[in-house]
Structure 1
Amino acid sequence: MMGDFTVAGAAVNVACWVVSGILIGWLFARRRWESFESPGPITTLRRCETRERYERFLRVRAWKDLLPEAGTWFGGITKRRLPTYAEGGLRRFAAESLRAERVHFTYAATIVGTLVWMRGWWVIVTLGFGFVVNVPCIVVARYNRLRIAHLA
């Protein structure tokens, strides 16, 4: 046994990741988009965050379109284009970006929660998965909000 790895443990972990990801997305999609117009203490954009820093240091424009768009999975709207005025326009886009950010923060917390029963190198795999799946999406959501902050 390498680092307490078992096929059963891996299966439980992967099942938790899949089920929690779908459940979190579904639950957040059930809320009206207007409920995501105000950021909280974690999701508030900071003064040090600028569009230019995201573009220059994180090169977000080079890779953001490579990420999957799951905003439409449960009846939401895509963030690949701006919503029409009838759909809520820039206010809706900012709210949907904040919704995506909160979904990924919540999903990251759920993934970290699976560490309760994981041991050995599987902990590294779990943390790596949580980082790779969530951080790029959070970065893009924050970048999108920065891009439209001066327009709204």
Structure 2
Amino acid sequence: MHLGGLPLGWLVVIDSLVWAAASVIVGLLAHRAPLTRLDRDGAFTRLRGFERDGRWYEHRLRIKRWKDHLPEAGDVFAGGFSKRALHGTSPAELRRFIAETRRAELTHWVLLALGPVFLLWNPWWLGAAMVAYAVSANVPCLLVQRYNRARLERVLRRAGEMPECRP
């Protein structure tokens, strides 16, 4: 069922409104998730061996060159947590930052997963463009969250504040 009777301009307006609404709703739901639910990795957020404590992102993706150019919306909602810079260096503060990277990563995974929904009402080529948008808008953010978490976990392991091996 696509809204083929609508002019292209209206489809783009609808798509933009759906993306905006989805981003706010998903972001708000993630914001309201208790921090205790984010204190350990799940299936999607678990760091993989190839990431090598963040070094893969540095060497393969040159992440340090572009990561600071991405938007940071962690503090959009009242009581939110900006991940633009560290809030401190104590183990507790680093653990909080790590938990917030999981919150952001889960938010971007959900938004990425919504991309194919746009194929339901758009012509195939516009739906494909919306999927491409979902990838381009969310994957870089996912990568930065994983990179930052890997680096901070490495710091905690070196300080003896985190076990050496990951499950």
Q: Output the TM-score relative to the length of structure 2.
A: 0.82
- Aligned residue in 1 for 2:65: 62
Structure with larger Rg? 2
Question: What is the letter of the counterpart of residue 106 of structure 1?
Answer: V
Structure 2: where are the runs of 5+ without partners? 157-167
- Answer yes or no: is 1:34 the counterpart of 2:36: yes
> Structure 2: how far apart are the matches of 1:11 and 1:119?
14
CA distance in 2, matches of 1:24, 1:151: 30
Report whether the alignment pairs 1:140 with 2:144: yes
1:120 correspondence with 2:134: no
Alignment-mate amino acid for residue 39 of structure 2 = E
Q: Do the aligned partners of 1:17 and 1:111 also contact (CA within 8 Å) in 2?
A: no
What is the distance in 1 between the residues matched to 2:59 and 2:141?
17
For structure 1, the 5+ residue unaligned runs are none
Does the 8 A contact of 1:64 with 1:140 survive in 2? yes
CA distance in 2, matches of 1:78, 1:8: 35
Partner of 1:151: 155
Match of residue 72 from structure 1: 75
Residues 103-112 or 118-127, more deviating: 118-127
Task: List aligned pairs for 1:47-58, cutoff 5 A.
Answer: 47-50=49-52, 51-58=54-61
Cα distance in 2 between the residues matched to 1:78 and 1:107: 19
Task: Give 1:129 shift.
Answer: 0.7
The whole-number CA distance in structure 2 between the counterparts of 1:144 and 1:102 is 14
SS at match of 1:48: helix
How many residue pairs get matched? 149
Partner of 2:164: none
Could you state the TM-score of these two structures normalised by the residue count of structure 1?
0.90
SS in 2 for 1:151: helix
Q: Distance in 2 between matches of 1:60 and 1:34?
A: 29
User: Per chain length, whose mean CA-contact separation is higher, i.e. which structure has more relative contact order (CA < 8 Å, sep 6+)?
Assistant: 1
Using the aligned pairs only, state the percent identity: 34
Whether the aligned pair in 1 keeps the contact of 2:112 and 2:135 (CA below 8 Å) is yes
Matched with 2:85 is 81
Q: Report deviation, 1:34.
A: 2.6
